[in-house]
Chains A and B, each alone.
Chain A
């Protein structure tokens, strides 16, 4: 093994990364925590240390929970670097990143990928218009900048829409409407998971209380809506949908879309780790054991990046990975590992109880998984669903081939907002399972870097080894 700078390098300071960092530091490991944002917290606890008291009542107590994690980062053996954009990770524990315009490289005995989730892409007609954003973006604007949109339409499915709507109600700017795509049929299908959900009662109680707030504010809710479209010239001006056999048109300049979140697999895919398609969560995730270990000895994954479980599950999975890494590095013996991990595993199981219910009750909007031909699916290169279907008819089987056909997934976002859709359309057109269709081959740099930034990287004797290609 080559010389390492740290026992553990963690990528991402959300709940998984922060909890892992604190756990590992407490056990005496030399830890580096890298995060792209200016403040710790990830997206769920974005800027939680800086939020003014006036915003706390709007955001709710769950958000403030994040401070229990951000305040645990004070250890002499834990270095936390903010504003660090990681652009390469290799299988030997080397990590390259840029901070303040300077490129840096470090080596860790173990790497923990804790880069969380992305909004599931929701390609509907007009979703590229200015004024159409993700519900996650609306939350970030609220948490970090105290900004809230007037007369916004919230569309899609999932508890995040209720959370955002209730926060908007508390801020005195209730949404114009909540246009939901889940159906009565979905509610019936989810009923078989209700027992599990009731064991995770606190989630259900919170959901019901948010719905009461939304109802009390008389926000119109349209459930089982279809044919969602954003319309306008230079920005969104109308949101149109069908509901109850009628076409509805809402005048609005802000539409927030959401139909679940999916693991951010850019780094794990760039490492060619084994991934699997999760049918219930309709997304790819790296194959991990219950510690977060992957098929590469030095690489672990924790939090939503290894499968969607939410913030509480993420911090527990971060701690489990940290314990196992301490064990790998012989800082923790078998007995201690078993003893320390048992209560964390039990709590994680409890926290996961409500998940299958949520996944079944709020499935993705079908038309956004397999959009109509004219809908743009690749925002960067403006490739439509019809283009991808045409590539399939020309014999294109996998998403990597589509790049050569029409640059889909080759823009600056590197497939983050079209990868799943491109795979889904190909799988459907070719009658192949998602697992077989696969995902884009992601290559570094994971984030763009300027030549000037690259030039500041110190050369090394044993250079970053090229990634193994399977």
Chain B
């Protein structure tokens, strides 16, 4: 699902931490907005919908639309409302794993 990121950073970050998305190790500045970090890393699909299995990603970036939901240690959270920390384990939400 990864491509060269569409989103380019304006400035290089001085210190980054490792975190995990769906088994892949990604890097982002410590405390970075998780949705932004995923987009910057070239992640295209954050989750698949429970209704039709359609792919979705961040849409509003302000905690209103819930399209950026990801699984963080078993809880579905809005990626745009979370901060990256070292060792964080994030998973894509897939229809079969959805229990909402």
Interface, chain A (partner B; CB < 8 A) = 36, 38, 43, 52, 54-55, 58, 85, 118-119, 128-134, 136-137, 140-142, 144-150, 171, 173, 234-235, 253-254, 264, 379-382, 411-413, 416-417, 447, 450
Given A36-B81, A144-B36, A150-B8: A133 and B63 interface contact (C-beta under 8 Å): no
Q: How far is the CA of A416 from the CA of B67 in the complex (A)?
A: 12
Question: A38-B83, A141-B36 given as contacts; is B66 within 8 A of A413 (CB)?
Answer: yes
Interface centre among A85, A128, A447, A450 (most CB of B within 10 A): A128
Given A147-B10, A150-B8: A382 and B52 within 8 A (CB)?
A: yes
B61, A140: Cβ atoms under 8 Å? yes
Q: Are A173 and B44 in contact (CB under 8 A)?
A: no
B6-42 contacts to A (CB < 8 Å): 6-11, 32-33, 36-37, 39-40
Question: Which among A36, A85, A141 has the greatest number of chain B C-beta atoms within 10 A?
Answer: A141
Q: Are A131 and B7 closer than 8 Å at their CB atoms?
A: no
Residues 35 to 58 of chain B near chain A (Cβ within 8 Å):
36-37, 39-40, 44-46, 49, 51-52, 54-58
Q: Do residues A411 and B66 form an inter-chain contact, with CB atoms below 8 A?
A: yes
Do the beta carbons of B39 and A146 come within 8 Å of each other?
A: no
Chain B residues, CB < 8 A from A119 = 60
Contact A133 B59, beta carbon cutoff 8 Å: yes
B44–A131 contact, CB under 8 A?
Answer: yes
Find out whether the CB atom of B33 lies under 8 angstroms from the CB atom of A145.
yes
Nearest A residue to B75, CB-CB = A450
Closest to B83 in A: A38
Report B56 CB to chain A, min CB distance, Å: 6
A322 to B37, CA, bound (A): 38
A130 contact from B57, B62, B66, B81, Cβ within 8 A = B57
Q: Mind listing 16 A-B residue pairs with CB under 8 Å?
A: A43-B62, A130-B44, A130-B46, A133-B60, A137-B60, A145-B40, A146-B10, A146-B11, A147-B10, A234-B44, A411-B66, A412-B69, A413-B66, A416-B64, A417-B64, A447-B63
With contacts A38-B83, A147-B40, A416-B64 known, is A128 near B56, CB below 8 A?
yes
Q: Please give me the residue from chain B that is nearest to A411 by CB atom.
A: B66
A171 to B9, CA, bound (A): 10
A43-B64 Cα distance, complex, nearest whole Å: 12
Give the CA-CA distance A129 to B56 in the complex, in Å. 6
Chain B residues, Cβ within 8 Å of A144? 33, 36
Q: Give A200 to B43 CA distance when docked, in angstroms.
A: 43
Say which residue of B49, B55, B61, B75 sits within 8 Å of A137 (CB atoms).
B61
- Name the B residues within 8 Å of A413 (CB-CB): 64-66
Q: How far is the CA of A380 from the CA of B8 in the complex (A)?
A: 29
Query: Which residue in A85, A149, A235 is a CB contact (below 8 Å) of B7?
Result: A149
Cβ contacts under 8 Å, B39 to chain A: 141, 147
Given contacts A36-B81, A234-B45, A380-B66, contact A137 B6 (CB under 8 A): no
B36: A residues at CB distance < 8 A: 141, 144-145, 147
Which residue on chain A has the smallest CB distance to residue B37?
A145
A450 to B74 Cα, complex, angstroms: 11
Q: Which chain B residues border A43 with CB–CB below 8 Å?
A: 62
Per the bound structure, the CA–CA distance linking A234 and B48 in Å amounts to: 10
Contacts of B44 in A (CB 8 A): 130-131, 234-235
**Partner among A141, A146, A382, A412 whose Cβ is within 8 Å of the Cβ of B61:** A141
Question: Closest residue to A407 on the B side, CB-wise?
Answer: B51
Indicate if the CB atoms of A148 and B61 lie closer than 8 Å: no
A-chain residues with CB within 8 Å of residue B67 when the two chains form the complex: 128, 379
Beyond A52-B11, A128-B56, list 13 extra A-B contacts (CB 8 Å). Answer: A38-B83, A130-B55, A131-B44, A132-B59, A141-B7, A141-B36, A144-B33, A147-B9, A148-B10, A150-B6, A150-B7, A253-B6, A416-B64
